[in-house]
Amino acid sequence: MTEALRGADIVARSLERLGCERIFTLSGNHIMSLFDAALETKIDLVHVRHEAAAVHMADAWGRLTGQAGIAMVTGGPGHANAVGALYTALGAESPMVLLSGHAATWELGRGGFQEIRQADMAAPVSKASWTATSAATLGREIGEAMRIATSGRPGPVPLSVPSDLLEERVESNAIVWPDAHGASSIPALADPVADAVLAAIAGARQPIIFAGPQLSNVSGRALLGRLEAATKVPAVIIESPRGIADATLGALSDLARRADLIVLLGKALDFTTRWATGSGFDPNVRVISIDPEAALVERAGREMNGRLVLGSIADVRNAAETLIARAASMKVREGGWLAEARAALDKRPAAWSTIVSQTPSRLHPAEVFRVLRPYVERDPDTVLICDGGEFAQWGQSMLPLRRRMINGVAGSIGGSLSFALSARLAERQAPIFAVLGDGTIGFHLSEFETAVRRKLPFVAVLGNDSLWNAESQIQLREYGKERMHGCDLLPARYDLVVAALGGHGEFVDKAADFPGAIEGALASGKPACINIQTESIAAPVIRL
Ligand SMILES: Cc1ncc(C[n+]2csc(CCOP(=O)(O)OP(=O)(O)O)c2C)c(N)n1
Ligand SMILES: [Mg+2]
């Protein structure tokens, strides 16, 4: 006689076998069996205040650690709430799995409780999306979801599990457990292809490498730095919806205009790269596409209309390593273009070091980030998060980006408090700063309660201009000053809200008080919000 296990126990034990230490979750009828099953494992359930926050936390976990973050939500409305946040993870190429409860199989098509086509709903914002149909194979399916999430271009994989399968008992000899992380099926970059790429680079006057968001964590940035050093080709990550105009990248748009060869390293040729056409590019610029997805290599070929000189389906990190290795035995180009390019990327207007607010009791964003910068630099493990509109763009351009997360290509604001909380679980010591605007903080303000409950300190640096300024700037530009409306907010005391939730609040309306507020927030050991009264300033534009 073998031991029978519930489907829920198979799920929990499979996750544990696959290395999962914690699950970001919010309870609900369809998943209470999974809460129960987690008690028999070492898995920590971090329960939160909105399903989207659970997804954002799993997303941040995936980005920071490279392991698939796991979120778990109930069926129907829980799943629906979670879906929007998958879009952010998809854009950021973040490995994560969303486990959603689901109406029982015997209820389907009969108007079951919270029955809705969950897999269809999540499909456009995920790498793969399906509903389990058998309790015995739940473990294998979770393994498969994790493998898909972490391989090739990483991304979110939602798996819906009907509640009756979670309750069903399966004899242990019938259980199909997951393979310990099946290997990626994405090919390596072949040496002759790598040599052809390097030859094209050698023949170009002003080549640039555009890398995708999957390289934006510490190991990815280090790898890209080594690739830049080995090839003497400037290499940047395009991870913002502002694309090549992301203020992080200085005067990249002026540099891109001069490029005669663009190497897309796991970077989609899309709106962020302005499809490498139009007035911002040399009309003869040639493109190389190295990408894990055949469809994106093909798309680059169509878009470039004869100017795609090479396309290869390959794993991004492996391709970078291969290029570095092959470059070692080739004649390396002179460093003049790289030095010129780095100066453009590092360029920041001189005025930024002295600029001060013109409005009484409000700080200019540059004043905020001049003060914050040494605190971010002090510890190399510090995690910086930038989220939101104009204020955060100033942060992106003025703060170091070694260990940084932004809301990403999806252009979806609101994830930062959840990112910060998750980052604190991954990073126990170093400071964590979340830079965000007053509109943005409203999406998941209640996660401060989660952070207090779980004793997860971080510092939210809130630029409060009582405005959805990014959209307000669009109105000003497109429709004129007298037609600006519908974007104003109250000068709310978010610092007091955070204090009321058990965290630490600071209020700043003078630049001189800001260092003390940062010290106070860090010393409190609590989740903290520094509510800074800021001027409404448009995002920076950096030109050569
Ligand atoms: C989910 C989502 N909703 C709306 C938007 C549009 N949007 C982008 S920035 C922004 C304003 C952000 O305001 P705030 O956080 O106060 O920053 P500010 O621009 O004022 O510095 C809005 C509404 C978006 N990008 N994502
Ligand atoms: Mg604002």
Ligand nearest to the CA of 442: 1
Per-residue model confidence (pLDDT) at position 2: 64
Q: What is the pLDDT of residues 117-149, one digit of tens each?
A: 999 999 999 999 999 999 999 999 999 999 999
Q: Report residue 347's pLDDT band, with 50, 70 and 90 as the boundaries.
A: very high
Q: What is the mean pLDDT of residues 481-508?
A: 98
Per-residue model confidence (pLDDT) at position 181: 56
DSSP string, 220-258: HHHHHHHHHHHHT--EEE--STTGGG-GGGTTHHHHHTT
The ligand 1 atom nearest the CA atom of 463? 21
Sheet of 308-313, strand order: 235-237, 207-211, 261-265, 286-291, 308-313
535 ligand 1 Cβ < 6 A: no
Q: Compute CA distances 219 → 65, 299, 403, 515, whole Å.
A: 10, 28, 9, 31
Q: What is the pLDDT of residues 205-229, one digit of tens each?
A: 999 999 999 999 999 999 999 999 9
* pTM for the predicted model, two decimal places: 0.98
Residue 182: pLDDT over 90: no
Q: What is the pLDDT of residues 320-339, one digit of tens each?
A: 999 999 999 988 788 899 99
Residue 385: pLDDT over 70: yes
Q: What is the pLDDT of residues 349-360, one digit of tens each?
A: 999 999 999 999
Give the residue, out of 242, 413, 436, with the most ligand 1 atoms within 8 A of its beta carbon, to mutate for a pocket test.
Answer: 413
Distant-in-sequence, close-in-space partners of 399: CB < 8 Å, separation ≥ 6? 369, 372, 373, 376, 384, 386, 435
- Measured in Å, residue 317 CA sits from the centre of ligand 2 at 37
Q: What is the pLDDT of residues 236-252, one digit of tens each?
A: 999 999 999 999 999 99
Using alpha carbons, select from 68, 216, 125 the residue that is nearest to residue 410.
125
pLDDT over 70, % of the chain: 99
Residue 95: pLDDT over 90: yes
d(CA 409, CA 132): 30
Q: What is the mean pLDDT of residues 399-416?
A: 96
Q: Report residue 32's pLDDT band, with 50, 70 and 90 as the boundaries.
A: very high
Q: What is the pLDDT of residues 413-438, one digit of tens each?
A: 999 999 999 999 999 999 999 999 99
438 ligand 1 Cβ < 6 A: yes
Q: pLDDT higher for 489 or 1?
A: 489
Residue 486: pLDDT over 80: yes
d(CA 405, CA 184): 25
DSSP H helical ranges for 447-513:
447-453, 469-479, 494-500
Ligand nearest to the CA of 386: 1
365 ligand 1 Cβ < 6 A: no
Give the residue, out of 464, 468, 472, 473, with the most ligand 1 atoms within 8 A of its beta carbon, to mutate for a pocket test.
Answer: 468
Mean pLDDT of the chain: 97
- Measured in Å, residue 243 CA sits from the centre of ligand 2 at 21
Q: How many CB atoms lie within 10 A of CB 86?
A: 30
Q: What is the mean pLDDT of residues 166-175?
A: 97
